[in-house]
Structure 1
Amino acid sequence: MSMHIEILVEDSSGEKLLEAVLPKILGDRGDPHTWRTHAYKGIGRIPRNLRGKADPGKRILLDQLPRLLQGYGRTPGIDAVVVVLDSDCRDCTLFLAELKALAAGCNPLPNTLFRLAIEEVEAWYLGDRQALEQAYPNAKRDVLNRYVQDSVCNTWELLADAVYSGGSAAVKKAGWPLPGQIKHEWAQEIGPLLDPERNVSPSFTKLRDGLRCLAAKGAV
């Protein structure tokens, strides 16, 4: 039985990564499942109440989430919604509880799955060392060897220290838009090489298994 899934992610580099790995998790689009990914312009914060009026034009994900979920809940043909977020420095257990409480207050609520990248989506690149080193053969192994998988350690900065000339210090000195450009490059270069079966990131594994469970059973 086919499903259609709407996937919300906090930025466009995350969207690019998901578009590269989703067919490896769910099969080719339309065979049998379909999905659409939607990139936002930042994570924002969970609204204090479901009736708060966030500006839709700003496209900040958590600010818009109650409105989005209720809209999807009223839309025929949408079987599930998946929300993919960086945990950053948040306590993951508390953050997930807050997200689920927000969802519980939405009426109607679509079948909704929340998944967190710990601490940032770059943990998923670091979870497949083979793909990373294939994309960046000159990556600094000593830096990569320091990484403890899915730890809170300034993940994107560590990856930049491993693969970018001058490291994260050079990226930060240059300032915006370079950090965003670098993250897009990683999604483009590493994303297509990621192997969902090989990836050792626990948070990536939860995304992979959650999506497959959703597609197989229509429930999490």
Structure 2
Amino acid sequence: MHIEFLVEESSTATALKFIVPKIIGDIHTFEVHNFGNKNSLLKRLPERMKTYASFIPDDWRIVILVDEDRANCQELKKKLCDASSVVTTKKGNIVLHRIVVEELESWFIGDVAAIRAEYEKIPVSLSQQAKFRNPDAIKGGTWEELDKILKKYGYETGLQKIDFAQKVSPHMDVENNQSRSFQVFRDGLRRIIT
């Protein structure tokens, strides 16, 4: 099985390179296509899906992954599904649409042990603090919150997204992440390849 991932930015592409094999094993191949930003992905998605519909083999799957960014989830999902309908009409249920609530950083906050593997000053108790028990419910942006946490505990450069993804993703425990949107992504990915 081969999986094509369509993502909106570099830190997501970086994270997926580490966490996808942990979720589905090494027997599957995958490629991550980074569109640079959400607007570019959404604009180019219909044409990209038409191209896939014209050639995609039966053992390929497509995963579209975007950040919620405080958008209306139902409207965003409808845009993704509408753009993908050309593939699903022709090939069946081979496209997985997933929205990261609210941003990729909620997946990192959902695994404090992975963060601490590289940023040891972050307290073990972070995930027990009321604000961080449900990473997907953090208000005001998970990027901003993670940046504040890093600075608070002495990491003066704050959150450098790609560097952070490169360092923390290899340590992530895909079975025990507290982010519900991560769990939905993980389970959906496993389901689409079976």
What TM-score do you get using the length of structure 2 for normalisation?
A: 0.85
**Preserved CA contact (<8 Å) 2:101 2:181:** yes
For each residue in 1:155-196, what CA deviation from the matched residue of structure 2 results, as whole angstroms up to 9, or x when unmatched? 10100111136999976xxxxxxx7xx001110111000011
**Preserved CA contact (<8 Å) 1:161 1:167:** no
Distance 1:18 1:129 in 2: 18
Distance 2:162 2:178 in 1: 22
- Counterpart of 1:25 (choices 17, 23, 26) is 23
What TM-score do you get using the length of structure 1 for normalisation?
A: 0.76
For each residue in 1:116-156, what CA deviation from the matched residue of structure 2 results, as whole angstroms up to 9, or x when unmatched? 11110000001111111222111267876333420243110
Distance 2:155 2:38 in 1: 22
Alignment of 1:127-166 (within 5 A): 127-139=110-122, 145=129, 146-147=131-132, 148-151=134-137, 152-164=139-151
Q: Quick one: structure 1 residues 207 and 131, their matched pair in 2 at CA, closer, same or farther if it must change by over 3 Å?
A: same
Moved over 4 A (4+): 105-110, 140-144, 165-171
Where 2:136 maps in the other structure, the secondary structure is coil
Q: Quick one: structure 1 residues 169 and 192, their matched pair in 2 at CA, closer, same or farther if it must change by over 3 Å?
A: closer
Q: Partner residue of 1:102?
A: 83
Q: Partner residue of 1:54?
A: none
Q: Partner residue of 1:200?
A: 178
Aligned residues: 187
Distance 1:95 1:167 in 2: 37
Distance 1:102 1:69 in 2: 7
Q: Quick one: structure 1 residues 5 and 26, their matched pair in 2 at CA, closer, same or farther if it must change by over 3 Å?
A: same
Distance 2:99 2:155 in 1: 23
Instruction: Give the unaligned 5+ runs of structure 2.
Output: none
| More displaced 10-residue stretch of structure 1: 200-209 or 160-169 | 160-169
Give RMSD over aligned pairs.
Answer: 2.6
Distance 1:185 1:118 in 2: 21
For each residue in 1:11-66, what CA deviation from the matched residue of structure 2 results, as whole angstroms up to 9, or x when unmatched? 111100000101001101xx1x211111111000xxxxxxxxxxxxxxx2111000
Alignment of 1:22-171 (within 5 A): 22-28=20-26, 31=27, 33-44=28-39, 60-77=40-57, 79-104=60-85, 108=90, 111-139=94-122, 145=129, 146-147=131-132, 148-151=134-137, 152-164=139-151
Q: Partner residue of 1:12?
A: 10
State percent identity of aligned pairs: 32
Q: Quick one: structure 1 residues 102 and 191, their matched pair in 2 at CA, closer, same or farther if it must change by over 3 Å?
A: same
Where 1:200 maps in the other structure, the secondary structure is coil
Of Structure 1 and Structure 2, the greater helix share is in: 2
**Preserved CA contact (<8 Å) 1:70 1:108:** no
Distance 1:25 1:193 in 2: 13
Distance 1:89 1:157 in 2: 13
